[in-house]
Amino acid sequence: MRTESTIVFSARPELDRPILIEGLPGVGNVGKIAADFLANKLKAEHLATLTSHHLPPQVLVDGDGVAVMPSNEMYYLKDVGTSHLDVIFLIGEFQATTPDGQYIICEDMMKKVFLPYDVSTVFTLGGFGTGQVKEDGRVLGVASDTDMKERLEPYGVTFSPHEPPAGIVGASGILVGLSQQYGIDAACIIGETSGFFVDYRAGMRLIEVLERLLGLELDLSELEAMAKQMDEINSKVMKYASQQRSDNLGYIG
Amino acid sequence: MRTESTIVFSARPELDRPILIEGLPGVGNVGKIAADFLANKLKAEHLATLTSHHLPPQVLVDGDGVAVMPSNEMYYLKDVGTSHLDVIFLIGEFQATTPDGQYIICEDMMKKVFLPYDVSTVFTLGGFGTGQVKEDGRVLGVASDTDMKERLEPYGVTFSPHEPPAGIVGASGILVGLSQQYGIDAACIIGETSGFFVDYRAGMRLIEVLERLLGLELDLSELEAMAKQMDEINSKVMKYASQQRSDNLGYIG
Amino acid sequence: MRTESTIVFSARPELDRPILIEGLPGVGNVGKIAADFLANKLKAEHLATLTSHHLPPQVLVDGDGVAVMPSNEMYYLKDVGTSHLDVIFLIGEFQATTPDGQYIICEDMMKKVFLPYDVSTVFTLGGFGTGQVKEDGRVLGVASDTDMKERLEPYGVTFSPHEPPAGIVGASGILVGLSQQYGIDAACIIGETSGFFVDYRAGMRLIEVLERLLGLELDLSELEAMAKQMDEINSKVMKYASQQRSDNLGYIG
Amino acid sequence: MRTESTIVFSARPELDRPILIEGLPGVGNVGKIAADFLANKLKAEHLATLTSHHLPPQVLVDGDGVAVMPSNEMYYLKDVGTSHLDVIFLIGEFQATTPDGQYIICEDMMKKVFLPYDVSTVFTLGGFGTGQVKEDGRVLGVASDTDMKERLEPYGVTFSPHEPPAGIVGASGILVGLSQQYGIDAACIIGETSGFFVDYRAGMRLIEVLERLLGLELDLSELEAMAKQMDEINSKVMKYASQQRSDNLGYIG
């Protein structure tokens, strides 16, 4: 009688073996930045909304003071770039609150949306927190099989044994694992990030990979501006923290 | 075979598209103070009791030494004030112990009580902990849509973008979100409070909004007395804490 | 297909509206000490075993090095003392690991054992941790209704408004609450204890109440011996702790 | 509709009342070391894979950069050593994330694999963390009954009352408990270990027991090499820690 999750479709477009691009919140919000930007920039259209007992028990408030139920949202695009691929985006503000909730939500979307739409490839986006602030960072991949590796390497994705060492936790991991079980090609594309803050530059590196993959060239200047704003906040925080340390030393001394 | 929640009706009154007023425990117990006061002062009659596996596994003890099972209680009133509205109150000592329990209990009441009674509007009451002790505080609203905002602003409810910043957690949030899904008008009405203690004055500010909404004028002197008692306790705690601090400084010095 | 709990009967005695005496582990193990002692001393016979997903995921090891699955065990006695009451005991080494597990296990036993055996009264035994080491302590009661209070007061049970202030958590509480729902007389009988250690004396005070209730007189010297052994351990711990404190002071000084 | 766990068979060999040897991760990974080594050394063949909502919500990354879904894996061997026993191994990188998940996964494998294959005896392997680094350590047993004790003692397994004192937590415990319920002979065979690091020597002591039991003689030099490597790491850590301690003392002084 009770349905743990509910998926409501707002449109029933015909899609030709679409690829899925997932970017839910995670380490440095790297995957979320990339997927939100693409869906928004390319004016993806709304496909479906998942709400679930396994998302946090609350509402958020939007810019109008209107309540927004936690959800995972699916958008679609047809005939993208020179690849002419159809695309489904999976984005949202939350992932499930419990381990089994993570599996349940991913399986629900797999069975009710991705399998019926005959998704050809699943790309999940994520961040890999290295604990080190660096100018540059790799884009790592974890593939559903070795063919997938060879398919992604030309786009600038590095595959490295046992990296990330702790694996990929959450929807980005499970969707790749489920894809293996259902025989769907899949990969997680992961931007290296310190993990200490929202990392727009790592997000941009993921977008660059997806641009090549989809045959697109996009204006990323908005994200560059966000990254610079973040740099300023960070440098203030750093200055403040180092000031605090010397003050404290003075006090102790 | 097993029912996670049980709702037992003690009366089956005819109600004309009642509004729901929810005031379960939360930040500063602001919503609970307001809803308990109204239900009590207006001599609301008992409608139904929900008990559930998702409430804490215990009993409370009443003033007679008699056990009281954790529950959510529903009361009703007909033809209230100059608004002539019928009202259902949802009150209790506990909310669910787990995230999905929160959803499950709210959906149970929605499906078994609020939808069958054709509730016209859901008002959930809550507190917004600002971390600052202030003389005054706003009554904030989070609406199910922009029409609802316009309906509530004349009663002294302020709508502010992205406030509260963390959204509304628990039954007060979920019931607004579920109302959106079922097409019921809804709003959470939230009293600003420090969040450090049970805040009768913030509760009184919510009652004043509801008085206007229902066309009522009530004697709030009991709550004023409770607020003063709380002030005294707080000032003693403050004095003690500041004494402790200077004692400690002396010790360190 | 899956059964969360399994109840296996080892006997199907005819019992005449038995009372239930529950003594699962809890604060100071007060209830467990009393129920284990009575069931053992009176040579109660095995009735049924509950195993469940909601008990801890492990086995214990007995005195023979043989594995023992976590369970709740039910024993029975016929025609006890001058009361001529039939009795079911509910004892075990564990309670459920989660809040809803607590409800599920108690309801399972209620529906599959206590209701079919037409239990006339449920007595749950517990401890109330006061945080103070005292020579003496009250036996408090929390009743299913005021009649039950009057029935128990003559046996030396004190009923006090809103005591214990936090209510009764776990099986001792839920079984009283469920009894109210099913129309069974019930009370929780609670021994005051410091809550710092296994309290045999508080357990003995509960047994004395049950002796009066059942019309029995038992030799409690074993428990007295255990209590004395505990006293010695405690006094050693105290001496050691106070020694440590003065050593530390010396070190700091 | 939803299946919490999925077991997929890759082979359907005929096995003659096989014994089960379980070695999932646990204290010091003692059981895992022994079971992985045996399955690998004896070239056991793949039987079945369990994936489940109750395993961690993630994927691991293998040496090719390919995703690996968390799973419990079953392998089989026929006619092993001079015992001529058929064997099923249960190994994997994870156990369930929750208490009831532990029961659910073990029962699933029991009902869908071990009972249909008419498993004659269940041997679960584990570690018992004593908190003390010792040259030597016992191999302790916890049996399903006293016959099982007598069967295992000749192979060098010690049975000691109430040891391990906290029982056996996780799959190694539950599988023995479930075996008792289903009337299958079972024992947990446990290597004493400090519990501070991955203990290859404790694993080797378990393997020696299983060699005798299966009538085998294996070359353990790989494990001896791993143990020595571990010794070196430990001695470096020790040296570093003791250096840190004296540095700190210097600083305080």
Percent of chain C with pLDDT over 90: 86
Tokens coding A129: 């927190």
Answer whether residue C3 shows pLDDT above 80: no
What pLDDT is attached to residue A236?
86
Nearest-angstrom CA–CA distance, D119 and D109: 12
Q: What is the DSSP letter of D55?
A: S
Burial C226-243 (b: 16+ CB within 10 A, else e): bbeeeeeeeeeeeeeeee
Contact D64 A181 (CB under 8 A): no
Cβ proximity of C120 and C179 under 8 Å: no
Interface probe with A: pick from B24, B95, B121, B142, most Cβ of A within 10 Å? B142
Nearest CA in chain C to D143: C66
Q: Which residues have CB under 8 Å from C162's CB, separation 6+? A: B61, B62, B63
In terms of DSSP bridges, do strands A185-193 and D67-68 run parallel, antiparallel, or are they unpaired?
unpaired
Contacts with D67 from chain A: Cβ below 8 Å: 142-144, 168, 173, 176-177, 180, 186, 188
* HSE of D181, CA atoms in CB hemisphere, 13 A: 24
Nearest-angstrom CA–CA distance, A96 and A56: 7
Q: Which helix (H) or strand (E) holds D206?
A: helix D200-214
Residues in B whose CB is inside 8 Å of some CB of A read: 96, 99-100, 102-104, 107, 141-146, 149, 159-170, 173-174, 176-178, 180-181, 186, 188
What pLDDT is attached to residue D247?
60
Contact D59 A181 (CB under 8 A): no
Q: What are the backbone angles phi and psi of residue B58, rounded to the nearest 5°?
A: -165, 175
In terms of DSSP bridges, do strands B121-129 and B185-193 run parallel, antiparallel, or are they unpaired?
parallel
Distances (CA, A) of D42 to A3, C248, D78: 47, 58, 10
Q: Which helix (H) or strand (E) holds C127?
A: strand C121-129
The packing angle between helices A221-252 and A30-41, to 10°, is: 150
Weakest mean pLDDT among A46-60, C103-117, C126-140, C235-249? C235-249
Contact C101 D103 (CB under 8 A): no
Q: Which residues have CB under 8 Å from B230's CB, separation 6+? A: B197, B198, B199, B200
Interface probe with A: pick from B105, B139, B174, B188, most Cβ of A within 10 Å? B174
Q: Which residues have CB under 8 Å from C216's CB, separation 6+? A: C42, C80, C81, C82, C83, C210
pLDDT, tens digit (0-9, with 9 covering 90-100), for B172-225: 999 999 999 999 999 999 999 998 889 999 999 999 999 999 999 999 999 999
What is the average per-residue pLDDT within B94-118?
Answer: 96
A145, with CB counted inside 10 A (0-12, 13-18, 19+), is middle
Nearest-angstrom CA–CA distance, C180 and C104: 16
Q: DSSP secondary structure string, B82-107?
A: GGTEEEEEEEES---SSHHHHHHHHH
Q: What is the DSSP letter of C232?
A: H
Single-letter amino acid code for the residue at C7: I
Contact C54 D100 (CB under 8 A): yes
B touches C, CB cut-off 8 Å, minimum 3 pairs: yes
Percent of chain A with pLDDT over 90: 85
Nearest-angstrom CA–CA distance, B235 and B241: 10
Contact D69 A170 (CB under 8 A): no
What is the average per-residue pLDDT within D17-45?
Answer: 97
What pLDDT is attached to residue C247?
60
What pLDDT is attached to residue A114?
98
Nearest-angstrom CA–CA distance, A90 and A74: 5
Confidence category of residue B253, pLDDT binned at 50, 70, 90: very low
Q: Which helix (H) or strand (E) holds B233?
A: helix B221-252
Q: How far is C155 from chain D (nearest CA, A)?
A: 38
> Rg of the Cα trace of chain B?
19
β-partners of residue C30 are none
Contacts with B57 from chain C: Cβ below 8 Å: 96, 99-100, 102-103, 169-170, 173-174
Nearest-angstrom CA–CA distance, B200 and C252: 47
Nearest-angstrom CA–CA distance, B70 and C239: 43
Q: What are the backbone angles phi and psi of residue A204, rounded to the nearest 5°?
A: -65, -35
Confidence category of residue D126, pLDDT binned at 50, 70, 90: very high
pLDDT, tens digit (0-9, with 9 covering 90-100), for B140-182: 999 999 999 999 999 999 999 999 999 999 999 999 999 999 9
Interface probe with C: pick from B4, B59, B95, most Cβ of C within 10 Å? B59
Nearest-angstrom CA–CA distance, D90 and D186: 14
Q: How many CB pairs under 8 A join C and D?
A: 91
Q: Which residues have CB under 8 Å from A142's CB, separation 6+? A: A159, A164, A168, A176, A187, A188, A190, D59, D61, D65, D66, D67
Contacts with C97 from chain D: Cβ below 8 Å: 99-100
Contact C67 D161 (CB under 8 A): no
Tokens coding C166: 């936090």
Q: Which helix (H) or strand (E) holds D41?
A: helix D30-41
Cβ proximity of D167 and D203 under 8 Å: no
pLDDT, tens digit (0-9, with 9 covering 90-100), for D178-214: 999 999 999 999 999 998 889 999 999 999 999 999 9
Task: Beginning with the edge strand found earlier in the chain, give each strand of the sheet holding B85-92 in spatial order.
Answer: B5-9, B45-52, B72-80, B85-92, B19-22, B121-129, B185-193, B139-143
Tokens coding B2: 């097993």
Q: How far is A64 from chain D (nearest CA, A)?
A: 35
Nearest CA in chain A to D61: A162
Instruction: Check residue C58 and give left, alpha or beta (phi > 0: left; psi -120 to 50: alpha).
Output: beta
What pLDDT is attached to residue A59?
97
Closest CA relative to residue B38, chosen from B173, B192, B219: B219
Confidence category of residue C42, pLDDT binned at 50, 70, 90: very high
D touches B, CB cut-off 8 Å, minimum 3 pairs: no
Confidence category of residue B251, pLDDT binned at 50, 70, 90: very low
> Rg of the Cα trace of chain A?
19
Tokens coding A63: 């810019």
What pLDDT is attached to residue A252?
39
Neighbours of B233 (CB within 10 A): 12
Residue for token digits 């079919």? C116
- Of the partner residues D53, D54, D59, the one whose CB lies closest to the CB of residue A173: D59
Contact B56 C162 (CB under 8 A): no
pLDDT, tens digit (0-9, with 9 covering 90-100), for A99-157: 999 999 999 999 999 999 999 999 999 999 998 888 789 999 999 999 999 999 999 99
End-to-end Cα, chain A, rounded Å: 68
Q: Which residues have CB under 8 Å from D55's CB, separation 6+? A: D70, D71, D72, D94, D95, D96, D97, D101, D105
Q: Which residues have CB under 8 Å from D151's CB, separation 6+? A: D185
C49, with CB counted inside 10 A (0-12, 13-18, 19+), is middle
Higher confidence at residue D132 or residue B245? D132
- Of the partner residues B99, B162, B188, the one whose CB lies closest to the CB of residue A57: B99
Answer whether residue A251 shows pLDDT above 50: no
- Of the partner residues B57, B62, B98, the one whose CB lies closest to the CB of residue C169: B57
Contact B146 A4 (CB under 8 A): no
Chains near B with 3+ CB pairs less than 8 A apart are A, C
What is the average per-residue pLDDT within B214-239?
Answer: 92
Q: What are the backbone angles phi and psi of residue C207, rounded to the nearest 5°?
A: -60, -40
Residues in A whose CB is inside 8 Å of some CB of B read: 2, 4, 6, 51, 53-54, 56-70, 97-98, 101
pLDDT, tens digit (0-9, with 9 covering 90-100), for A228-249: 999 898 888 878 877 776 665 5
C touches D, CB cut-off 8 Å, minimum 3 pairs: yes
Contacts with C54 from chain D: Cβ below 8 Å: 99-100
Q: How far is C134 from chain B (nearest CA, A)?
A: 23
Contact A143 D59 (CB under 8 A): no
Confidence category of residue B248, pLDDT binned at 50, 70, 90: low
Q: How far is A22 from chain D (nearest CA, A)?
A: 15
Q: How far is D159 from chain A (nearest CA, A)?
A: 37
Contact D59 A99 (CB under 8 A): no
Residue for token digits 């255990």? C226
What pLDDT is attached to residue A63?
96
What pLDDT is attached to residue C212?
97
Single-letter amino acid code for the residue at A86: D
Q: How far is C187 from chain B (nearest CA, A)?
A: 8
Nearest-angstrom CA–CA distance, C9 and B245: 63
Answer whether residue B43 shows pLDDT above 90: yes
Nearest-angstrom CA–CA distance, D119 and D133: 36
- Of the partner residues B102, B141, B142, the one whose CB lies closest to the CB of residue A57: B102
Q: Average pLDDT, whole number, for chain B?
A: 93
Residues in C whose CB is inside 8 Å of some CB of D read: 2, 4, 6, 51, 53-54, 56-70, 97-98, 101
Confidence category of residue B134, pLDDT binned at 50, 70, 90: confident
β-partners of residue D121 are D19, D185
Q: How far is B173 from chain A (nearest CA, A)?
A: 5
Contact D167 C59 (CB under 8 A): yes
Angle B7-B10-B11 (CA atoms, 0-180°, nearest 5)?
115
pLDDT, tens digit (0-9, with 9 covering 90-100), for C133-171: 887 899 999 999 999 999 999 999 999 999 999 999 999
Closest CA relative to residue A21, chosen from A94, A70, A76: A76
**Secondary structure of chain A in HEC code, one letter for each residue:** CCCCEEEEECCCCCCCCCEEEECCCCHHHHHHHHHHHHHHHCCCEEEEEEEECCCCCEEEECCCCEEECCCEEEEEEEEEHHHCEEEEEEEECCCCCCHHHHHHHHHHHHHHHHCCCCCCEEEEEEEEECCCCCCCCCEEEEECCHHHHHHHHHHCCECCCCCCCCCEECHHHHHHHHHHHHCCEEEEEEEEECCCCCCHHHHHHHHHHHHHHHCCCCCCHHHHHHHHHHHHHHHHHHHHHHHHHHHHHHHHC
- Of the partner residues B146, B170, B180, the one whose CB lies closest to the CB of residue A57: B170
* HSE of C143, CA atoms in CB hemisphere, 13 A: 18
Nearest CA in chain C to B100: C100
Contact B101 C104 (CB under 8 A): no
Confidence category of residue B250, pLDDT binned at 50, 70, 90: very low
Contact C59 D174 (CB under 8 A): yes
Neighbours of C79 (CB within 10 A): 10
pLDDT, tens digit (0-9, with 9 covering 90-100), for C167-225: 999 999 999 999 999 999 999 999 999 988 899 999 999 999 999 999 999 999 999 99
Answer whether residue B52 shows pLDDT above 50: yes
Contact A54 B173 (CB under 8 A): no
Nearest CA in chain C to D145: C66
